Structure 1
Amino acid sequence: MKAIQASLEDISYLLRIPQRKPYGTMEGNVKKALKIATEEKDSILASIPQDLREKGSVLYTTLVEGKGGLQSLLTYIKNQDPDKVSLGLASSLDTVAEIELLQAPGLSFLLPEPYLKYPRLAGRGMVEFTIEKGDGSTFSPQVGGEPIKAATIQVVLDGYSAPLTAGNFAKLVVDGAYNGSKLISANQAILTESGADKKSGYSVPLEIMPSGQFEPLYKTSLSVQDGELPVLPLSVYGAVAMSHSEDSEEYSSPNQFFFYLYDKRNSGLGGISFEEGQFSVFGYVTVGREILPEIKTGDVIRSAKLVEGQDKLVLPADST
């Protein structure tokens, strides 16, 4: 599944090329993912616990043959429709993430000894936010629907690539730290308020997994100009990352995070954000991306819940 994920994530980079997009390369990536999925079907399903195998089988079929799966993605690429490719890619990656959640093998590397004092997420999780307008107004209705008083946003946490950052965030969610938090709309980002007394959290070292590597770097940013790219890119609409610590850019804020509203029109070379490789990205909005541009300063996180991944959250011995 990691190989399938990596093959698909490469497409997200190719989509950001502002000139003529390499659809032939994208097609090759999807065919590679399909080949792996088809040839390794038995081992993929065998790695899922028996009581979850039926759900895993449905997800596998969705990934390979479903409307939002790899076959559909292949069609969109052949039609050279970048908008549908982007949507199909997000759908396929979401299904991949769900299958990996079922497999949940834990981390594929050992954390350095000094970092075992932090909470960590040994796998993937999902957080569901309920957002309300601060002024009592509503969010835009869906097609044919009624105005929405409370919008739902789901975020998949990637504890494989950012175990400490995702772990700290998951613990904050479990502790209720974000319930009632106000949001701040800034340039290309939506931030949570910082420094509220009820918030705690750990100031985790800047944590970035470079592409092609098998474990994260700590307290080290990447140089995009030198060809260094992260496994979890910031240059994706709906990327979720921690702000920097007020004391040092080598550490993340204990509790302030932001939704990144990536806009390639305001990006640098190759359509990559100027701040790529500078922040600890730990997840992505998978449901509710259309809500993000409607969020304004003063809107409120009514609740945040860890709906999947509680069993992957490992707390240090001195944690409460």
Structure 2
Amino acid sequence: MAAILSCHHSASPATSSKFISPSIPTNRTRFSISHKQFGTRSSSPLPIKCQIQNRQQKGKSFSIKECAISIALAVGLVTGVPALEWSSNAYAANPVLPDLSVLISGPPIKDPGALLRYALPINNKAIREVQKPLEDITESLKVAGVKALDSVERNLRQASRALKQGKALIVSGLAESKKDHGVELLGKLEAGMDELQQIVEDRNRDGVAEKQKELLQYVGGVEEDMVDGFPYEVPEEYQSMPLLKGRATVDMKVKVKDNPSLTDCVFRIVLDGYNAPVTAGNFVDLVERHFYDGMEIQRADGFVVQTGDPEGPAEGFIDPSTEKTRTIPLEITVEGEKLPFYGSTLEELGLYKAQTKLPFNAFGTMAMARDEFENNSASSQIFWLLKESELTPSNSNILDGRYAVFGYVTQNEDFLADLKVGDVIESIQVVSGLENLANPSYKIAG
């Protein structure tokens, strides 16, 4: 089980979440995204070492003013969509709107771990029927006091029954080369469910969330063991580029300046090369070149945190072997398609109702910045979205299908909102999955 990464901070009075003004601070990075219809996220529970501030915020309710703003912003999604472009002052004349029925669909999945599990290229109903009730424990825990444990027990019984009934189908879905590992994880999952049952019987509400997290890690591991190699061939024109054929995990350590409540923080990020092999591969290649080490945060306005614009006139990575800017294509994978779409937004393809495999749903969704009018202009500039998911339901916001998502911050994501322009990325290091990087250009001399 992965270790919990900590952020070092001192306790200070919590400030209430505010919606962001339409104005955008200017900075030297020219890739920008308008944020008129988005708000910042209220804090959610963090690992123990990062909970002091959030515990004070947890009981806060929206003011009437904030509720009015929320409604106004939601209406804005239906009545007009701002352009997403280099300039923050320009707007599209005739934006294409998503279908209203999609806009008002059910609540989005906001947990980055769940999004990553559902994004895996597998089709095994049996393991999903185990996964879903375990994830639903999160909703059950929103009930106050020990009454939540009755609902947790129902979730657990459902998951246990699904595992017992579907175990043969789950095992048959494991890749042959990974079967032994997958079976071992299933054993740990069964034992862990028994342990969670004991936690519930002991009425130990505080012990549920951590055990749930452990069980879902086992589920995710089993699901990854169902993937047999890389599931498709990348188009020929991109096959020589750095490609992440699978997943990788990186730790980004940020040194925070001029913030009495936070000094430094390590963010864990999972990169998904199954659905964005070119985009994720480009990033891992730059990480291995130490491209981002020592670079400042260049935009932090409550809507996104952005970096990646190097010093000097260049606005992307200059490949020393060519002395030219290396750019990558827009890359978006949608449900029902085995290969990503390249070079076109979903709007341009007429896929207005398509569901992206990696949606802008989680706080800390990681994507490539680019020129709005040049789909294939992304190079090194990256951003993390700080969003209020309730205002932009799953696959219905103005970013999905227009910008390439390639990962999610899975630990300490809430602290992204504390970063400011001038804070320094001390390092980004690959902690697992480097073996999945094909065509690593950083190994080429020059």
- TM-score of the aligned structures, taking structure 1 as reference length: 0.71
Q: Are the counterparts in 2 of residues 3 and 33 from structure 1 also a CA contact under 8 Å? A: no
Residue identity matched to 1:290: D
Per mean C-alpha deviation after superposition, the further-off stretch among 272-281 and 188-197 is: 188-197
Q: Structure 2 CA distance, aligned partners of 1:263 and 1:101?
A: 29
Q: 359, 364, 370: which is aligned to 1:233?
A: 359
Q: 239, 242, 245: which is aligned to 1:116?
A: 239
* 1:227 Cα offset (Å): 1.0
Q: 130, 133, 137: which is aligned to 2:256?
A: 133
State the match for 1:80 in structure 2.
none
Matches within 5 A, 1:65-80: 66=192
Q: Structure 2 CA distance, aligned partners of 1:136 and 1:57?
A: 47
Q: Structure 2 CA distance, aligned partners of 1:88 and 1:273?
A: 33
Q: 189, 203, 218: which is aligned to 2:304?
A: 189
Q: 190, 213, 221: which is aligned to 2:345?
A: 221
Write the deviation string for residues 20-43 of structure 1: whole angstroms up to 9, x where unpaired. xxxxxx99x979985797222365
Q: Compared with structure 1, are the counterparts of its residues 91 and 245 closer, same or farther at alpha carbon in structure 2 (3 Å cutoff)?
A: farther
Per mean C-alpha deviation after superposition, the further-off stretch among 256-265 and 202-211 is: 256-265
Q: Compared with structure 1, are the counterparts of its residues 190 and 104 closer, same or farther at alpha carbon in structure 2 (3 Å cutoff)?
A: same
State the match for 1:81 in structure 2.
none
* 1:211 Cα offset (Å): 0.9
Q: Are the counterparts in 2 of residues 233 and 281 from structure 1 also a CA contact under 8 Å? A: yes
- Asked if 1:305 is matched to 2:305, the reply is no
What residue ranges of structure 1 are gaps of 5+ in the alignment?
A: 16-25, 76-83, 140-148
Residue identity matched to 1:164: V
Percent sequence identity over aligned pairs:
27
Per mean C-alpha deviation after superposition, the further-off stretch among 251-260 and 104-113 is: 104-113
* 1:104 Cα offset (Å): 6.8
Write the deviation string for residues 50-99 of structure 1: whole angstroms up to 9, x where unpaired. 7xx3xx566445556647x9x89xx9xxxxxxxx99x9998766555555
Q: Structure 1 CA distance, aligned partners of 2:123 and 2:211?
A: 18
Q: Structure 1 CA distance, aligned partners of 2:165 and 2:281?
A: 30
* 1:221 Cα offset (Å): 1.3
* 1:289 Cα offset (Å): 1.5
Q: Are the counterparts in 2 of residues 234 and 277 from structure 1 also a CA contact under 8 Å? A: no
Q: Structure 1 CA distance, aligned partners of 2:238 and 2:354?
A: 24
Residue identity matched to 2:342: Y
Helix, strand or coil at the partner of 1:44:
coil
State the match for 2:420 in structure 1.
296
Helix, strand or coil at the partner of 2:268:
strand
Q: Compared with structure 1, are the counterparts of its residues 104 and 310 closer, same or farther at alpha carbon in structure 2 (3 Å cutoff)?
A: farther
* 1:256 Cα offset (Å): 0.6
Q: Structure 2 CA distance, aligned partners of 1:118 and 1:258?
A: 22
* 1:151 Cα offset (Å): 1.0
Matches within 5 A, 1:263-278: 263-265=388-390, 267-268=391-392, 272-278=396-402
* 1:199 Cα offset (Å): 4.3
Helix, strand or coil at the partner of 1:170:
helix
- Asked if 1:260 is matched to 2:385, the reply is yes
Matches within 5 A, 1:157-172: 157-172=271-286
Matches within 5 A, 1:9-88: 34=163, 38-39=167-168, 40-41=170-171, 44=174, 46-48=176-178, 53=181, 59-61=185-187, 66=192
Q: Structure 1 CA distance, aligned partners of 2:215 and 2:317?
A: 35
Per mean C-alpha deviation after superposition, the further-off stretch among 272-281 and 300-309 is: 272-281
Q: Flag the structure with higher strand content.
A: 1
Higher Cα Rg, which structure: 2
Q: Compared with structure 1, are the counterparts of its residues 210 and 234 closer, same or farther at alpha carbon in structure 2 (3 Å cutoff)?
A: same
Q: Structure 2 CA distance, aligned partners of 1:95 and 1:251?
A: 37
Residue identity matched to 1:219: G
